[in-house]
Amino acid sequence: MSTIPKIVILGAGYGGILTAQRLQKELNYNEADVTLVNRHDYHYFTTHLHMPAAGTDSIDNTRVSISKLIDEFKIDLVKSNVQEIRLAEKKVVLQDGTLSYDYLVIALGGEPETFGIPGLAEHAMTIRSINSVRFIRQHIEYQFALYKADESRTECLNFVVGGAGFSGIEFVAELADRIPELCKEYDVDPNLVNIYNVEAAPTALPGFDPELVEYAMDVLKKKKVQFKIGVAIKECTADGVLLATGEEIKAATVVWTGGIRGNRLIEAAGFETARGRVKINDFLQAPEHDNVFIIGDNSLMFNEEGRPYPPTAQIAMQQGVVCAQNVVAAIRGKEFKKFVFSNKGTVASLGKGEAVASAFGKKYKGWIAAQLKKVVDMRYLFIIGGIGLVLKKGRFL
C-alpha cells in the first residue's frame, strides 16, 4: 500500500491553479499524489467575465484548457462537481466518486450573495462563470430581437445592473459600449435604451478613491449610464426591480452584482463562516484542521487595521503560492511560511480605452489606466501560461 501523501485541491480558479502549478514545481518525484478537481476542464479569467457578458469580447479569450496549464504526468485532473466535504473522514464526495486526502486545499471561489432580497435568485442574472455570462450575452441580444418583433415591449430596452461595486461598474461600462452596436444591428434608436446602475451605498465603488469614483461616473454618464446612488434594490420581479424609494424600474434584464459570499459547501462541511468565508490563520490553515488550507474567496483574513481583505484574484493568487509552500513544508516537516498580502493596487476598467487605477501610491485615469489594466491581465497570463498564453489570449489593442 502506498504511503505517499494525497493532496487534493478543490477548484482551479486563481487560487487553485496557482497552488497546483507551484506544487508541481516544488514537489519531488513520488513525494505526493496531487489531484486537482474542477467542474470544468478549463480555467476561466473571472476578472474578464464582464466583457463576454456584455458581448464586447469572446468567451474564447476568457478561458484556457487546464491541461495546458498543468503537467498531467504530475497532477491528476478530475473534471467533476464537488458535492460534499467530509472533514472527519478526510474525504471529498464528487458527483461521480469519492476522493480521500491527507491535505486538502479548498479554492472553490465565491457565489453571488443576494442578502435574501426577494426575487433576485429567480429573476436576476449574475456574472460568475462562463455559463452564466453566455446566458447574459444571449439574453441581452434576444431583448433587441424581441423589441423589434413588438415595439410596445419597451421593457426589453431597459437594463438594470444592481450594485455599483467593481463588478457592476466594469460590466455597466462594457454594456454601454455594446448597446450602440446592438442598436445598429437591430435598427433601434439608441435614445430608447436605458441602462440603470443602482447602488445602495452613498457612493459608487464604496471605499475607492473619491476623485477616481467621480471620474469613473463621469465617463459612464457620458456613455448614457443612469446612476441611482444611495438607493437599494428591495425586490426583483419578472417585470424589473422595486427600489427602497418605492420606484419601480420595468426591465427585462436585471444583472445582479451586489456582492459575493463564500461557497455554500464550506458551511455544509461544518466550518464556522462569515457569509461563507472561513477565518483562516496566517499559514492559510482552517481552524481545528491543520491539514486543510482555505484560500481565495472562501477565506477570510484581516489587515493590520483589523479590516477584512476584499476577495480578489490578487489575494487568491498570492495565497495559492504560499499555500503550496506550506503544504510542501507540512509533508517535509519543515517550518510554515506566514502569508503577508502585498497589495499591488486596483484597476477598474471603464470600457474601451478607459479605466481608473490606484497603484504604486498614485492615481491613474483614462488611457494610461486602461494600459495598466492590460498589463495586469497580461502579467497573469504570463504567470500561469508563460509567453505562449500571453500571445494567444492577451489583448494588445
* Catalytic residue, candidates 111, 170, 174, 199: 170
Identify the CA nearest to 220 among candidates 352, 46, 377. Answer: 352
- The answer to whether residues 7 and 32 touch, using CB atoms and an 8 Å cutoff, is yes
- Cell readout for 316 is 487568491
Q: Choose which of 8, 117, 236, 328 interacts with ligand NAD (CB under 6 A).
A: 117
136 sits near ligand FAD (criterion: CB under 6 A): no
Could you say which of ligand FAD, ligand NAD, none residue 162 binds, taking C-beta under 5 to 8 angstroms by partner kind? ligand NAD
- Cell readout for 337 is 511560511
215 sits near ligand FAD (criterion: CB under 6 A): no
Task: In whole angstroms, give the CA distance from residue 323 to residue 275.
Answer: 22
From 97-105, 198-206, 209-217, 277-285, span contacting ligand NAD (CB under 6 A): 198-206
Identify the CA nearest to 258 among candidates 133, 160, 350. Answer: 160
- The answer to whether residues 278 and 287 touch, using CB atoms and an 8 Å cutoff, is yes
Helix (H, G, I), strand (E, B) or coil at 132: helix
Residue with cell 445592473: 161
13 sits near ligand FAD (criterion: CB under 6 A): yes
346 sits near ligand NAD (criterion: CB under 6 A): yes
Could you say which of ligand FAD, ligand NAD, none residue 212 binds, taking C-beta under 5 to 8 angstroms by partner kind? none
- The answer to whether residues 151 and 283 touch, using CB atoms and an 8 Å cutoff, is no
From 92-100, 161-169, 284-292, 379-387, span contacting ligand NAD (CB under 6 A): 161-169
Residue 192 CB, nearest distance to ligand FAD (Å)?
A: 27
Nearest CB to ligand FAD, comparing residues 107 and 269: 107
Nearest CB to ligand NAD, comparing residues 258 and 262: 258
107 sits near ligand FAD (criterion: CB under 6 A): yes
Identify the CA nearest to 238 among candidates 122, 139, 149. Answer: 122
118 sits near ligand NAD (criterion: CB under 6 A): no
Q: Choose which of 11, 163, 165, 258 interacts with ligand FAD (CB under 6 A).
A: 11
- The answer to whether residues 257 and 53 touch, using CB atoms and an 8 Å cutoff, is no
Is residue 170 annotated as a catalytic residue, yes or no?
A: yes
- The answer to whether residues 162 and 257 touch, using CB atoms and an 8 Å cutoff, is yes
Nearest CB to ligand FAD, comparing residues 38 and 143: 38
Q: Choose which of 6, 40, 74, 289 interacts with ligand FAD (CB under 6 A).
A: 40
Task: In whole angstroms, give the CA distance from residue 210 to residue 188.
Answer: 36
Could you say which of ligand NAD, ligand FAD, none residue 16 binds, taking C-beta under 5 to 8 angstroms by partner kind? ligand FAD
Q: Choose which of 55, 119, 311, 385 interacts with ligand FAD (CB under 6 A).
A: 311
Q: HSE, CB side, 13 Å, CA atoms: give it for residue 393.
A: 26
Give the CA distances from residue 165 to residues 39, 200, 231, 321, in Å, rounded to whole numbers and listed in that order: 27, 10, 14, 27
What is the binding site for ligand FAD (CB under 6 A)?
11-16, 37-40, 46-47, 49-50, 81-82, 107-109, 127, 167, 170, 263, 265, 296-297, 311-314, 316
